[in-house]
Structures are given as structure tokens and as C-alpha cells.
Amino acid sequence: MSAGPQPIADALVLFGATGDLSKRKLFPALYRMEDHGTLNVPVVGVARSDWSDAAFCQHAHDSVLAAIPDAKAAVIDSLLARLDLIQGDYADPKTWATLARTLKKHKSEHAVFYMAIPPTMFPTVAQSLASVGLNERGRIVVEKPFGRDLASAKELNTTLHTIFPEERIFRIDHYLGKESVEDLLVFRFSNTLLEPVWNRNYVRSVQITMSETIGVEGRGSFYDGVGTIRDVLQNHLLQVLALVAMEPPVGPESSFLQDEKAKVFAAMRPIDPAMMVRGQYVGYREEEGVAQDSTVETFVAAKLEIDSWRWAGVPWFVRCGKGLTANATEVVVEFREPPSLLFDEAGGPTPERNLVRFRLGKQDGVTFTLQAKTPGQHLDSQQVDVAVDFAAALGERREAYERLLGDALAGEPRRFAREDIVEQTWRVIQPALDSAAGTATGGVGTAVHPYFRGSWGPAEADRILKGDTWYLPAN
């Protein structure tokens, strides 16, 4: 059962307030909340940089405008009026005393502490919060990556649990805040059409693609210590996969949803490194902050398997990478072909396989690829798409970080990752990390295949499909 409702937060504390994530995502999200009338708390920025209040406000102002060029001046002004800046070294007890005083000034008892800081600093910051008693009633929001592998994720969970109970640790995966991703859950379980065929009897394979045209874009030094497997496969892609694969939750509470996801991962086999292909785009090693002999992957493709009654024997092919030819996040569920008897008689082509394609990127929607009669005398069929664009049909979605910040303030854990799920995903991924690092082979990792920017990654990625092809994203 769920832990019960949590109090609504009365302050938001932003660690890493002058950093990249705050600039790109958090200030624009706060602006949107202000605009929608949902930001009703003071926002206290904490940063090591030697910034003045004025410089901080200017930074917030510029961050909003960079993301939302037509932002309304009056809304920005109201947002800026909520901001307070605390500067100081995280290792200095005075910083924490000042934070406690500032929250007291705001009469805050239930603050949300958002860690937009490097993961190595999570334990220090959590311990420092405890040193001034701010862990007693507050919640923390922890950004990904949550650990570097299974062992460090477990260690981080153990450390955080000595300071905050699980129900007050909100692990962010911004894909869970995307309405298009959440629609996987709603679309599957609000339509009876899909459920009877959503299993190994009818589904031949599932492909999940997350492709980005951008390279590492100034994040070279971060990315070179992480790579694609840790950056997006362990979290975003596996979370999407779980929503496609899971059983219907028995109720809307967070714990029911998390339980079903946990079952998917518990039934998932650890990645077989022989069924994984890593790639690196040509030019990556020349990016700032990247080692000249780096073998870190900017692309990975892998086959996953779920040993459950619903999915045993169905391959789940996933691929993700940077510097690819299109920006797309898609799930393609491929159905088995019908028996060809009718079409044998006509001597025509066998119908192609049906697909359900969930488009989760910017123009999100669903496309059913079906067969319909080709005009003429014969009983031939050909492919037709039945497609819906959700924004056009239903109106614009809200942005992921706005929704997640709102949830964190409201104390709603449903769109955050639970401890056991994060650990299970690392368990599944661990052999991929070990083989990439060459842990068992004296440091000689699996090959990283070069590919050109603007391609679909290394040709070797086709190998894991065993004769099939990757479906090209629709947009």
C-alpha cells in the first residue's frame, strides 16, 4: 500500500542553482509554473559560485528567455520576486546554518531540496541537511545518474536512507514526466482493443529507439565519464520499456504502478554482452573534455528479454545514440504475420506485419500500420497508416520538468523511480558495463564501432536483429 499523502511543500531549495540543469530546464519549468499559477512557494537557490543576488536574478531571467523567447515580463518578474540566493561552500557549516535560517524566515517546515548537482555530492549535501535538522520533514529530489553501477546505486540508496526515508526520496527520470511517455500507460489500459493481443502469442518483437542528432554539446567531460548505456539506456529507455511491458496496475496509487514495473525488471534477464553493440561517432574524441583515446560509447543497441508468461521469447530491441540522423523516441510493437492462405490463392504478396508505433518525441502520437485491400481484381493487401498526432487532436502537453517539479512540491511520488526499480535496472545493465570496461578481460572492453554523424549508428547494430531490420522512426 502507499505510504499515505505527503504534506504539500512550502519552499523549494535548489542546489546547483547556477548550474547547467537549472539554466536549461529548471528555471524555464519554474516560469511555466508561475505562469500557470502553480508555483506558490519561495525558491531558495544555493550555489558555490560567488554570485550576487542581482547576478542570480539576471541568470534566472536569461535562462527563462533562452528557453521561452516569448516569456511574459510580468510572469518573469513574479518568479524573480520569489528567489533568494545562498552562496557558500557545501563543506562549510555556515552555509547550512544560513539555509536553515532562510527557511525559518520563510516559515518553511516542509521544504523540497532539489539536487541539481553532480551525483558525487548527493551524500555530502544530504548529510549536511541532516546536520541542521532539515531532513526531518523535507523531501529530496535526486537527479540522474543515480549511481554508476549496481554497487554504487545500492550504496547511495543505503546512505540516503540513513538520512531520508524512501517515501521522501524522489529520484527523477524526466522521461517519466513526459506526457507522451505517460500516455503509454493510459493508452494501453484505457483501450480494451490492445490487451488481448499484447503478449507473446501475437507480438513478434518490440523495438525502442531513442535517437538524437546532437552530439555531446559542451558536456564532453561529463559524457566521457558516463556513456550512452548509463546516460539513457539504464534510465529513460528502460522506464519506457517497463510501461510497454507491464501488467495493469491494480489502482492509481504510486505503489501499485511501481510494483508492476518492478515485476518487469525482476523478470528481465541481464543484458547478454554478445547481443549488444556499442558505437562512437567519428569526431567524438575531438570534443572538448573527451579523452583522445576514449572508448566510451555514444551509441548502443542491445537485445533484452523478459522471462514472464506474457513476454517469454519476444525480443526487445533497444537502440539509442547521439549524432544520429533524426531526433526521435519511438516504440514499435511488431505483430506476427497472419497465415497467408487467402493470399497464396491470389498469388499476391503476403501481408506485411502490423505495427503499433508510439511516437514519444516532439510530435507525439500513435500510428497503427495495418493492411488494406489494394484496388483491383486481386485479393492483395497493402500497407496503410492510421495515425493520430496528440497535440493536434488533444491540445498541447505540459513540459516534463514542470510536471515533475509540481509533483515533488505536492509530494506525489508516482512519476519518480523507486529504490528497488533503480537497482533492478542496474542489475540488468551491469553485464553491459562490465563488458564495455573489460572488467573480466584485463581492461580490454568490447569494441566500440565508429559511425558517421547523420547515420543510424554502426552497421554492426543490425547483427543483433538476426536478419530483421530496424524500423525507421516516423518523425
Task: Write down the least CB distance from residue 469 to ligand BG6, Å.
Answer: 24
Task: Write down the least CB distance from residue 256 to ligand BG6, Å.
Answer: 26
Spatial separation of the C-alpha atoms in residues 63 and 72, rounded to whole Å: 13
Return the C-alpha cell found at 266: 525482476
Rank residues 168 and 174 by Cβ distance to ligand BG6 and give the closer one: 174
Q: Which amino acid is at 463?
A: R
Task: Write down the least CB distance from residue 212 to ligand BG6, Å.
Answer: 5
Quick one: CA torsion of 16, 19, 23, 29, rounded to 10 degrees? -20
Report the chain's C-alpha Rg in angstroms: 24
Does residue 182 bind ligand BG6 (CB under 6 A)?
no
The residue sitting closest to ligand BG6, measured at its beta carbon, is: 231
Exposure on the CB side of residue 17, measured as CA atoms within 13 A: 31
Return the C-alpha cell found at 19: 548550474
The mark string for 397-416 relative to ligand BG6 (x by CB under 6 A, - otherwise) is: --------------------
Question: Where does residue 460 rank: exposed (0-12), middle (13-18), buried (19+ CB within 10 A)?
Answer: middle
Rank residues 232 and 275 by Cβ distance to ligand BG6 and give the closer one: 232
Task: Write down the least CB distance from residue 423 to ligand BG6, Å.
Answer: 19
Structural contact between residues 28 and 69, judged by C-beta atoms closer than 8 angstroms: no
Q: CA nearest 315: which of 278, 276, 279, 370?
A: 276
Rank residues 223 and 317 by Cβ distance to ligand BG6 and give the closer one: 223
Task: Write down the least CB distance from residue 143 to ligand BG6, Å.
Answer: 9
Rank residues 322 and 357 by Cβ distance to ligand BG6 and give the closer one: 322
Task: Write down the least CB distance from residue 29 to ligand BG6, Å.
Answer: 12
Task: Write down the least CB distance from residue 16 to ligand BG6, Å.
Answer: 15
Per rule CB under 6 A, count of chain residues that contact ligand BG6: 3
* 236: annotated active-site residue: yes
Rank residues 226 and 306 by Cβ distance to ligand BG6 and give the closer one: 226
Rank residues 212 and 402 by Cβ distance to ligand BG6 and give the closer one: 212
Phi-psi region of 457 (alpha: psi -120 to 50; beta: other; left: phi over 0): left
Rank residues 84 and 231 by Cβ distance to ligand BG6 and give the closer one: 231
Rank residues 438 and 454 by Cβ distance to ligand BG6 and give the closer one: 454
Task: Write down the least CB distance from residue 172 to ligand BG6, Å.
Answer: 9
Cell numbers 524500423 correspond to what residue? 471
Using CB under 6 A as the binding rule, the residues of this chain from 280 to 339 that contact ligand BG6 are none
The end-to-end CA distance of the chain, in Å, is: 40
Task: Write down the least CB distance from residue 435 to ligand BG6, Å.
Answer: 22
Rank residues 223 and 451 by Cβ distance to ligand BG6 and give the closer one: 223
Q: Which amino acid is at 253?
A: E
Question: Where does residue 107 rank: exposed (0-12), middle (13-18), buried (19+ CB within 10 A)?
Answer: exposed
Return the C-alpha cell found at 33: 509554473
User: Catalytic residue among 110, 236, 378, 449, which?
Assistant: 236
Using CB under 6 A as the binding rule, the residues of this chain from 46 to 105 that contact ligand BG6 are none
Residues in the chain: 475
Using CB under 6 A as the binding rule, the residues of this chain from 196 to 255 that contact ligand BG6 are 212, 231-232
Q: Which residues bind ligand BG6 (CB under 6 A)?
A: 212, 231-232
Active site residues: 236
